[in-house]
Structures are given as C-alpha cells and as structure tokens.
Amino acid sequence: MEWVRNRAARREFERFAAETSDLLRVAGRWNRVRSMDLWALYARRVLINLVLYDAGRRARQRSEL
C-alpha cells in the first residue's frame, strides 16, 4: 500500500477494508441470512462484533507503544 503515504489515511483504509470484508461475507451468504427468523439481529451482531474487534485492536496497538 505504498500509494497511501499518510499513516492516518492508511489506518482508516485498513479499518474500512477489514469492516467491509466481514460485511461482504454476510452479503455472500445473504440467501441463508434472509431466510433466518431474526436476520436483522444477525446482521446487527456482525456489526457489533466488528466494532468490538476494532476497539480491542486499537487498545492493543496503544499498549504496544
């Protein structure tokens, strides 16, 4: 990713890519997900997991510094 020289922009893009890849997994399984009784809760849980994972990753990065 040499084209992203600004560290903040690079971190933002990496976060976006990580979040999007998980959402793409949900999209790829959408036929199965939408057949669930509580599909909206499943999709919401995926988003919550992404936020929690990102928060934990940021905390670990700070502690490494």
Summarised one tens digit per residue, pLDDT across range 6-62 is: 777 778 877 777 777 767 777 788 888 888 899 888 888 887 887 788 877 777 766
Residue 47 included in any domain: yes
> What pTM does this model have?
0.46
What range defines the domain where residue 21 resides?
7-64
Residue 51 included in any domain: yes
Contact at 8 Å (CB) between 1 and 10? yes
Residue 27 included in any domain: yes
Residue 2 included in any domain: no
Contact at 8 Å (CB) between 50 and 22? yes
Helix pair 7-28, 39-64: axis angle to 10 deg: 150
Residue 13 included in any domain: yes
Residue 14 included in any domain: yes
DSSP letter, residue 5:
-
Query: How many domains in the chain?
Result: 1
